[in-house]
Amino acid sequence: MTKLPRIVFFEPRIPPNTGNAIRLSAVTGAHLDLIEPLGFDLSEPKLRRAGLDYHDLASMTVHPNFAAFLATVPTARIFAFTTQATTRYTDIAYRPTDVLLFGPEPTGLPADVLAHPRITEEVRIPMLAQRRSLNLTSCASIAIYEAWRQADFAGGA
């Protein structure tokens, strides 16, 4: 199993994105955390289809709220991904104990979460001007693969 930061989706709303994140968790070994409320039922066919047969290979936890999640990672650095940040995701030296926090499409992380004292830093993934954002799981993929690259893809084939 790889030792990578946790991928966290705050109040995800789109089932196929979460299904794809389950698949991402399975192929990288990164733990996936989902913070409720979810915009779907975890048994939804679209979520199951997007995750293919990877559900049993992924490591995932669902938390009732942000506070409950934070209690599980009391000393972790938490990087909040937002289009408004100035620090690039590649400027971070990631640690296995870090948290990569992503907000729901299309709104992103709410202001109260971004202002939470446990947020270590806001980071962004560069893109062309005048674009709203990338797909949620695409962002998580870019970030977790950068963290894994920094670890020389330890445990990867």
Inside any domain, residue 119: yes
The annotation places the binding site at: 103, 125, 133
The annotation places the binding site for S-adenosyl-L-methionine at: 103, 125, 133
C-alpha 81/C-alpha 124 separation (Å) is 5
10: domain range? 6-150
Inside any domain, residue 1: no
Q: How many domains does the chain have?
A: 1
Could you read off the pLDDT tens digit of each residue along the chain, which spans 157 residues? 568 999 999 999 988 888 889 999 999 999 999 999 998 887 756 555 544 567 678 889 999 999 999 999 999 999 999 999 999 999 999 999 999 999 998 899 999 999 999 999 999 999 998 887 889 999 999 999 999 999 999 999 8
Exposed, middle or buried, 120 (CB in 10 Å: 0-12/13-18/19+)? Answer: middle
